[in-house]
């Protein structure tokens, strides 16, 4: 049921080395550390895929990364 209704709707996005560097640089520029780099990677994926919305229960985590062109929403 999950595969048919959810996974089938997803698009896998592979990040390049440059995109990983972009995420790390964003975290560094904002003086953030630790696991926030994983949030940054998700945000970079959304931005690079021209997503208009990112669904998360952790608005605060993503807001501090200053999303560009991506609106944050609750699932």
**pLDDT, tens digit, for every residue of 22-37?**
999 999 999 998 899 9
Q: Structural domain tally of the chain? A: 1
Per-chain mean pLDDT for the chain: 90
Residue 21 is predicted with a pLDDT of: 96
Structure tokens at 37: 């780099």
Q: What is the pTM of this model?
A: 0.81
The domain of 22 spans: 2-73
What is the C-alpha end-to-end distance of the chain, expressed in Å?
A: 19
SS3 16: coil
């Amino acid at each position: 049921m999950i595969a048919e209704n959810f996974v089938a709707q997803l698009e896998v996005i592979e990040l390049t080395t440059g995109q990983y560097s972009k995420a790390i640089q964003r975290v560094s520029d904002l003086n953030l550390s630790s696991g926030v780099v994983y949030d940054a990677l998700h945000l970079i994926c959304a931005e690079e895929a021209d997503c208009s919305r990112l669904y998360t229960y952790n608005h605060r985590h993503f807001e501090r990364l200053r999303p560009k062109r991506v609106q944050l929403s609750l699932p």
